[in-house]
Copies of this chain bind each other. A is one copy, B any other.
Amino acid sequence: MLTIGKLGAQAGVKVPTIRYYEQIGILPEAERSAGNQRLYSRKALERLAFIRHARDLGFTLEAIRDLLSLSDNPDQSCAAADAIAKAQLAEVESRLARLTALKAELERMVVQCAGGRIADCRVIEVLGDHSLCTTDHRHPESEASA
């Protein structure tokens, strides 16, 4: 049995984050010691590592909640899990496309500035006028983390 600190260290998750996961119900309520401190089993460590890894891959906690409940029923079809992963892949691809456009515009801005006064700064000029951009980089959909 691990204390919350040890668990966090092993899984690479901060202690308050673990309590937060319990609070939102993505980790089950932990057992408690005589002195009311949380105690975790190896199973809990695996579950937390799963969450951590999925977060690192950009899945939302909502998606992870679904993935966990799927993984708790090993005999079901994995179609739903695959669909979640595919949706996440699509999300990543769309963000990648957008970031690539942003990178191009930022590079252009930075390169074109001759480094004089603000009045002649290409960075300020482009920021004030999207028609000076070559790509269509506007904010299309949601922008979570990842």
Q: Which residues of A contact B (CB under 8 A)?
A: 12, 46, 49-50, 53-58, 67, 70-71, 73-79, 81-82, 84-86, 88-89, 92-93, 95-96, 98-100, 102-103, 105-107, 109-110, 113, 115-121, 123-124, 127-130, 137-139, 143-146
When the two chains form their complex, are residues A53 and B128 in contact, meaning their CB atoms are under 8 A apart? yes
Which residues of B are found within 8 Å of A124, using beta-carbon distances?
Answer: 67, 70-71, 78, 81
In the complex, what distance in Å separates the CA atom of A84 from the CA atom of B128?
A: 15
Which residues of B are found within 8 Å of A96, using beta-carbon distances?
Answer: 96, 99-100, 103
Of the candidates A57, A58, A73, A109, the one having the most CB atoms from chain B within 10 angstroms of its own CB is: A57
**Given known contacts A96-B103, A99-B95, A120 and B54 CB-to-CB distance under 8 angstroms:** no
Rounded to whole Å, the gap between the CB of A6 and the closest CB of chain B is 19
In the complex, what distance in Å separates the CA atom of A145 from the CA atom of B146?
A: 9
Rounded to whole Å, the gap between the CB of A123 and the closest CB of chain B is 5
When the two chains form their complex, are residues A118 and B56 in contact, meaning their CB atoms are under 8 A apart? no
Rounded to whole Å, the gap between the CB of A9 and the closest CB of chain B is 15
Closest to A72 in B: B118
When the two chains form their complex, are residues B117 and A67 in contact, meaning their CB atoms are under 8 A apart? no
Closest to A55 in B: B139
Given A53-B128, A56-B130, 12 additional A-B pairs, CB 8 A: A49-B130, A53-B130, A55-B139, A56-B138, A56-B139, A71-B118, A71-B124, A76-B117, A82-B121, A92-B103, A98-B146, A143-B146
